[in-house]
Structure 1
Amino acid sequence: MIVVLLNVYLALLFILVKLRVVPFNLFWKVSPVIVLLLLLVGLFIPMNWGAPQGPALVVRQSIAIVPDVAGEVIDVPVAANTPLKAGEILFKIDPTPYRSQLKALEAQYKLQEQRLSQMTQLQSTGSGRAFDVEQRQAEADQLKAQLEGAQWNLDKTVIRAPADGYVTNLALRKGARVSNLPLSPVMSFVDTADTIIGVEINQIDARYIAPGQPVELTFKFAPGQVFPGQVESVLQAISTGQAQVSGAAVTPIAIQSAPFVVRVKLDDQAFAASLPAGATGDAAIFTDRVKAAHIIRKVLLRQIAILNYVNPF
């Protein structure tokens, strides 16, 4: 853009010199350099903090699916990358051992209730001890708690979608044996209930960014288009500023000025929901400073949007 403005100035200067409106003296000869410096110092450098621009990335929450019970998989009704609603079945584990355990506990609990009833009747007639009734009651309560646990295990043999989304990279098949170890997930579930769009902004340009400010974004996924939105928040921490708990002393590192991340939200939520996780693009944030440069930033962003038809990087 600065090249375009400078060329426009040179064209006007050439016309004015040819028409003898201005003399072609030393001042006008060096005026392009003066104009270039004025554009840099007065407009384009301040534009970086008045209307900062940075790369954008679409991120979705990924949930590692780990079953609560172990066993043999008997059914996998889902297909990879197919939209699912919260509560739909992902896969089933053979319930036979858990159903057998539940039935055994139900039989024990039924017998314990009968014994409790008998002890209560004996106590009411003076033939039994209160201690025996209390002991039977405690045993009945313990079996009831075990029954609830067994029922929970049986229910967990059917694994359901935790939210709206889809399963990606599905490798689980019928006959596979799964465990409930936390480090052994069996599939990855992508939550589409919330679309996270992050924009990286250099630290020197992020000083005036605040929630609610307007944003424009263009994506490689949708070349030639610009989508409006607004700033949701400026993340207050990045990994380089995070203190890790350890038993070692402070380890000095080469400190670098990493960009901050700004979370933005598109006005068109239907389009945001259609964006694949990992979609990239560029975004411009329009603060309440250097408003004269906003129109230039809008033009630059639209140039990027058009170049997205041919620029894969």
Structure 2
Amino acid sequence: MIVVLLNVYLVILFCLVKFRIVPFNLFWKVSPILVLLILLVGLFIPMNWGAPQGPALVVRNSVAIVPSVAGEVVEVPVKANSPLRVGDVLFRIDPAPYQSQVNALQAQLKLSQLRLAEKTRLQTTPAGRAFDVEQYQAEVDQLEAQLVGANWNLEKTIVRAPADGYVTNLALRTGARVANLPLSPVMAFIDTSETIIGVEVPQIDARYVEPGQPVEVTFKYEPGKVYGGKVESILQAVATGQTQTSGTAVSSKTIETLPFVVRVKLDDAEFANRLPAGSTGDAAIFTEHVSAAHVIRKVLLRQIAITNYINPF
């Protein structure tokens, strides 16, 4: 853009000299250099913090599906990358062992309740003891608690979608045996109920970025188009500023100046929901500073949107 503006000035200067409106003296000979410096120092360098620009990325939360109970898979009704609603069945585990446990506990509970009723009636006579009633009451309470857990295990033999989304990289098949181990997920579920768009902004340009500021984003997925939005939040940490609990002493490491990540939300929610995870693009954030540069940043962003038709990188 600075080259375009400088060329425009050169054309105007040529016309002014050609028609003898201005003399072609030393001042006008060096004026292009002065104009270049003024554009750099007064407009284009301040534009980087007045209207910062950076790469944008669409990400979605991935849920590792780990069953709550172990057993043999008897049905996998889902298909990879097919839309699912929250509560849809992902797969079913053989419920027979868990159903038998529920039946056994129900039978024991029924017998204990019957004995409790008998001991309660007997307590009203001289032959009854309060201890027997209390003992059977505790047994009934214990069996009822175990029955709640058994019913929960039985219910968890049907694994359901935790949110709206889809299953990707589906390798689970009927007959496979699954375990309730956190390190052994059986499938990956992509949550599409929330679209997260992050924009990387260099630290030197992020000083004036605040939530609520207008944003424009263009994606390679939709070349030639620019979408408006707002800044949602600025992530307050990057990897280099993170410490973790460790049994070792502090060790020095190379300090890197990583960009900050700004989370934005598009005005067109329907389009945002259609964006595949991993979609990339460029975004510009318009702060309250250096307003004169906002028009130039908008033009530059639209140039990028047009070149997305042919630029795969």
TM range (shorter): over 0.9
Aligned residue in 2 for 1:48: 48
Does the alignment pair 1:34 with 2:47? no
Does the alignment pair 1:13 with 2:13? yes
The residue type equivalent to 2:30 in the other structure is V
Q: Select between 210-219 and 122-131 the one with higher mean Cα deviation.
A: 122-131
Aligned residue in 2 for 1:75: 75
The residue type equivalent to 2:239 in the other structure is S
CA distance in 2: counterparts of 1:232 and 1:65, whole angstroms: 29
Aligned residue in 2 for 1:120: 120
Aligned residue in 1 for 2:311: 311
Does the alignment pair 1:103 with 2:79? no
Does the alignment pair 1:265 with 2:265? yes
Deviations 1:203-223 (A, max 9, x none): 010000111100000000000
CA distance in 1: counterparts of 2:277 and 2:309, whole angstroms: 20
Counterpart secondary structure, 1:282: strand
Aligned residue in 2 for 1:150: 150
CA distance in 2: counterparts of 1:292 and 1:261, whole angstroms: 25
Deviations 1:135-188 (A, max 9, x none): 111111111111111100000000000111111111111111100001100001
The residue type equivalent to 1:149 in the other structure is G
Residues 232-243 of structure 1: pairs in structure 2 closer than 5 A:
232-243=232-243
CA distance in 1: counterparts of 2:254 and 2:19, whole angstroms: 59
Residues 219-230 of structure 1: pairs in structure 2 closer than 5 A:
219-230=219-230
CA distance in 1: counterparts of 2:111 and 2:240, whole angstroms: 62
Counterpart secondary structure, 1:79: coil
Aligned residue in 1 for 2:211: 211
The residue type equivalent to 1:101 in the other structure is Q
CA distance in 2: counterparts of 1:172 and 1:24, whole angstroms: 79
Aligned residue in 2 for 1:302: 302
Residues 274-293 of structure 1: pairs in structure 2 closer than 5 A:
274-293=274-293
Deviations 1:262-303 (A, max 9, x none): 000000000000000000000000000000000000000000
CA distance in 2: counterparts of 1:126 and 1:35, whole angstroms: 112
Question: 1:250 Cα shift?
Answer: 1.2
Question: 1:22 Cα shift?
Answer: 1.4
CA distance in 2: counterparts of 1:137 and 1:120, whole angstroms: 10
Counterpart secondary structure, 1:184: coil
The residue type equivalent to 2:253 in the other structure is I
CA distance in 2: counterparts of 1:27 and 1:251, whole angstroms: 58
Aligned residue in 2 for 1:58: 58
The residue type equivalent to 2:157 in the other structure is T
CA distance in 1: counterparts of 2:26 and 2:244, whole angstroms: 62
Aligned residue in 2 for 1:251: 251
CA distance in 2: counterparts of 1:73 and 1:23, whole angstroms: 89
Counterpart secondary structure, 1:225: coil
CA distance in 2: counterparts of 1:254 and 1:104, whole angstroms: 63
The residue type equivalent to 1:163 in the other structure is A
Counterpart secondary structure, 2:5: helix
CA distance in 2: counterparts of 1:249 and 1:72, whole angstroms: 47
Number of positions where the alignment pairs a residue of Structure 1 with one of Structure 2: 313
Deviations 1:40-69 (A, max 9, x none): 000000000000000000010110000000
Aligned residue in 2 for 1:201: 201
The residue type equivalent to 1:254 in the other structure is T
Question: 1:253 Cα shift?
Answer: 1.1
Aligned residue in 2 for 1:84: 84
Aligned residue in 2 for 1:137: 137
Question: 1:121 Cα shift?
Answer: 1.2
Does the alignment pair 1:186 with 2:176? no
Does the alignment pair 1:22 with 2:22? yes
CA distance in 2: counterparts of 1:190 and 1:213, whole angstroms: 29
Runs of 4+ in 1 over 6 A off after TM superposition: none
In structure 2, list runs of 5 or more residues that go unmatched.
Answer: none
CA distance in 2: counterparts of 1:195 and 1:23, whole angstroms: 60
CA distance in 2: counterparts of 1:150 and 1:257, whole angstroms: 54
The residue type equivalent to 1:99 in the other structure is Q
In structure 1, list runs of 5 or more residues that go unmatched.
Answer: none
Q: Select between 37-46 and 126-135 the one with higher mean Cα deviation.
A: 126-135
CA distance in 2: counterparts of 1:296 and 1:19, whole angstroms: 31
CA distance in 1: counterparts of 2:178 and 2:126, whole angstroms: 55
Deviations 1:237-280 (A, max 9, x none): 11211111111111111111110000000000000000000000
The two structures have a TM-score, normalised by structure 1, of 0.99
CA distance in 1: counterparts of 2:151 and 2:212, whole angstroms: 49
Question: 1:23 Cα shift?
Answer: 1.5
Counterpart secondary structure, 2:102: helix
The two structures have a TM-score, normalised by structure 2, of 0.99
Q: Select between 5-14 and 20-29 the one with higher mean Cα deviation.
A: 20-29
Identity of aligned residues (%): 73
Q: Select between 235-244 and 53-62 the one with higher mean Cα deviation.
A: 235-244
